[in-house]
Amino acid sequence: MTSTASYRQVADTIRRFIHDGTYPRGSLLPNEDTLADELGVHRATVNKALKILKAEGLVYVHMGVGTYVHKLPPILRNAAVRHSRAHRERGGARGSLASELEQLGYSLDNQTTIGPGRPPAEVAEVLGVDPDNDSVIIRARRMYAEGVPIQIVTTYIPRSIAEGTPMAERDPGVGGISSRLAELGHAQVDIQEDVDVRPPTDEEARFLRMTPDQRVYEIFHMGLTRDDQPVKVNLYVLPTYQWKLRYRYSADPD
């Protein structure tokens, strides 16, 4: 590479080296001077290239140590299969995410708070509950894979359904909340998800270890029963660099 190479060319090269394993996932990159020597460019060019890769979430800075390659590659969130009973209960998993991560060989951990609470107005309207009272059970979870924070999810279930059941406990059992709803006669037969992309809030950025110029997916997820009654709302916040979203659905043959 010539000394006149653009910082975008340098970013392309470092990105390729990450994807081909030259710089393995989770490894500490050479410092900027060393990278500049290895690539035959100026240090300032390397610095600008790394800013691109940081915004992409491919690398991150550990203050006082250096720049690391992000430990986890993007995780596929396959909406077409993740809500099936077979998927969420596979191997005794406690829900869809646990099943997905186990299949990838990743360990799952989470910080969970559970209890009655007041839902946001939009959630209350969907569930048909009172926004001014503790009308729902709220499960607020901050979730990690291999020690890396990967998502924030807040679940709202009508208190009239969830109170006194495993859904109001830390461990909802095999298959998670969706399996417990089905056992109580509230099986979800349709899923609706609205997806937005936005900057993280300060609190989200701190937990997810993001910078202000990175983005999150915000997913408003509804589970509906056969009679079209919403019985669960999940609000997901996921770093866009960490997740690949896949949707598949039947098309009208016309």
CB 189 within 8 A of CB 226: yes
Do 31 and 135 sit in the same domain of this protein? no
**In-domain check, residue 206:** yes
Residue 159 pLDDT level (bands cut at 50, 70, 90): very high
Do 160 and 65 sit in the same domain of this protein? no
Do 233 and 123 sit in the same domain of this protein? yes
Give pLDDT, residue 86.
82
**In-domain check, residue 252:** no
What confidence tens digit (pLDDT) does each residue in 49-90 have? 999 999 999 999 988 899 999 999 999 999 888 888 888 878
Do 107 and 21 sit in the same domain of this protein? no
Residue 16 has pLDDT above 70, yes or no: yes
Can you tell me the mean pLDDT for 158-185? 95
Give pLDDT, residue 67.
96
Classify residue 220 as exposed, middle or buried by CB count within 10 Å of its CB (0-12, 13-18, 19+).
middle
Can you tell me the mean pLDDT for 155-178? 95
Do 86 and 61 sit in the same domain of this protein? no
Residue 1 has pLDDT above 70, yes or no: no
Can you tell me the mean pLDDT for 31-53? 95
What confidence tens digit (pLDDT) does each residue in 115-134 have? 999 999 999 999 999 999 99
Residue 254 has pLDDT above 80, yes or no: no
The CATH number that applies at residue 196 is 3.40.1410.10
Select from 22, 52, 69 the last residue of a domain.
69
Token output for 11: 């970013």
Q: Which residues contact 14 (CB under 8 A, 6 or more apart)?
A: 23, 29, 35, 49, 50, 53
Give pLDDT, residue 124.
98
Do 228 and 137 sit in the same domain of this protein? yes
Q: Which residues contact 148 (CB under 8 A, 6 or more apart)?
A: 70, 71, 72
Do 170 and 215 sit in the same domain of this protein? yes
Do 90 and 177 sit in the same domain of this protein? yes
CA R_g for the chain: 21
Can you tell me the mean pLDDT for 133-153? 97
Domain count for the chain, please give it.
Answer: 2
Residue 47 has pLDDT above 80, yes or no: yes
Do 81 and 32 sit in the same domain of this protein? no
Q: The domain containing residue 149 runs over which residues? A: 75-246
